[in-house]
Amino acid sequence: MGGRIARGFGWVGAAQIVLQLTRTVGAIIVARLLAPEQYGLAMLALVFASLVLVFSDLAFGAALVQRKEISEDDRSTAFWVTVGSGTLFTVLGVALSGAIAALYGEPEVAGLLALLSASFIITALGSTHQSLLLREMAFKRTEILGLAGAFVGTVGAVVLAVMGVGAYAIIGQQLLTAFITTALLWRASKWRPHFRFSRASLRDLGGFSGFLVGHRLLYYLHQNADRFIIGRFLGVGALGSYAIAYNVMLQPVAKIAMPVQRVLAPAFARMQDEPERIAAAWARAARLVAMLAVPSLTGMIIVAPDFVPVVLGERWNDSIPVIQLIAWVGMLQAVQGINVDILMARDKTNQIFAYSVGFTIAHTVAFLIGVQWGIIGVAACYAISSTLVEPVLTWLTARALGVSPWHFVKSVLGVFQAAAVMGIVALATRLALVDAGVSPLLRLLIVGVVGAVVFGLLCLWRIPEIRRDIQSLTGKWRPVRVGAPAVAEP
């Protein structure tokens, strides 16, 4: 298990670095080619389209990974349920595209959504195969396949944007990514669905996945409520500025946690009866994610006034304060990334659902209050509500493992301290460069280098245990018990 986890981190981590670089570069190129209004139109279509992630497999894939043993009836039943769900949502997407466009007050959204709906059935066809590969901890194959699909989709988006198709460039990216990824999953997996459907399997898998589907639906509502509210009350131009900030901050950061989640989710499932081992792995994983997310987002808060005009273009300057506010949300969400996987492994999906009800209500109320002050108000209220709500998930996870929440706090406290000092030094450096009349591009480069050096030195002082964590990724991963010396200082 230790060797498979270490190798998994290596493959998933490397693939995600390449994947996020590809997507980020592609997103920047597309953003420079599209107007905020065009970008906003595509985001309106994606608000509904992201609903497919909730119902794409009705969480049966997660159940296949979590169960200690599965049968052919389980696999085939999960596949046919998933395909049925994908087909239904493809039909609904096309049928409701006009009504959804009318709700937004943007007729152009209808064509975008109708075309994008084809991705629902395409994604559903490969969902079960992906879950089975993850269950086998075949991380090399799953990551290479996902990377290939994303690369083709990103290249396609850039080509379409250059051709001048506007918002359809982003829709084309989604379709290409889904098609290539699904085709490669079928090629990589030896399993093929049988014409079998078991009510017993449906009840067993559904008993686990029911609360999880509810959680995903609520998370979808929370994740898209801000976009819907902004698009409805402030217009597609404002939504474009908000969405680019969201995509620059939260999407890449969410992917930082993904390698850890992909590797540890099946590992946690196999350790589900050993909470102390999971708690030890939790501390290490949270610290590793924080090491990547917290300093990078802290740095973005400082350099956003230079980053946006230099990288995205001056037409996106309205997104600068939104990026700075959303960065804090990104930090909180990144370090909480694996908590839901731990609760799933411990078969606490009912607690996941209960928490989801609370955070969805809290965030939606925050968005409705914040929209009175435009996109900056929405981002500010989102940051406040996240600060109040996210710690609850930490408490639930700690309780499920029988440890104190302080176990988690100690694991990431040094990272936040080092990032705070780095932020102060970076801010002072940038202000000095502004006074000296240094160009924005050169300021961006200098502040980035200074921040990286300062944070690295601070890590040697405040986070000495990070060396052990890095060693765990080179093949020496040994999740130990909470009371053992190796995790006395998580």
pTM tops 0.75, yes or no: no
Question: Helices in 274-373 by DSSP H: which ranges?
Answer: 275-307, 320-335, 339-345, 349-370
CA–centroid distance for 469 within its chain: 23
DSSP letter string over 145-184?
HHHHHHHHHHHHHHHHHHTT-TTHHHHHHHHHHHHHHHHH
The domain limits of the chain are 2-480
Question: Helices in 34-117 by DSSP H: which ranges?
Answer: 36-49, 52-55, 60-66, 72-104, 109-116
DSSP conformational letter for 475:
I
pLDDT per position as a tens digit, 201-242: 888 777 666 777 777 778 778 877 888 899 888 887 888 888
pLDDT per position as a tens digit, 135-181: 877 767 777 888 888 889 989 989 998 898 888 998 999 899 999 99
Q: Within 13 Å of residue 55, how many CA atoms lie on the same side as its CB?
A: 18
Compute CA distances 83 → 47, 90, 145, 366, whole Å.
Answer: 21, 10, 20, 36
- Find the distance separating the first CA and the last CA of the chain, reported in whole Å: 21
CA pair distance 39, 30, nearest whole angstrom: 9
CA pair distance 10, 475, nearest whole angstrom: 9
pLDDT per position as a tens digit, 28-81: 788 778 877 787 788 777 776 666 666 666 677 777 877 778 889 999 998 998
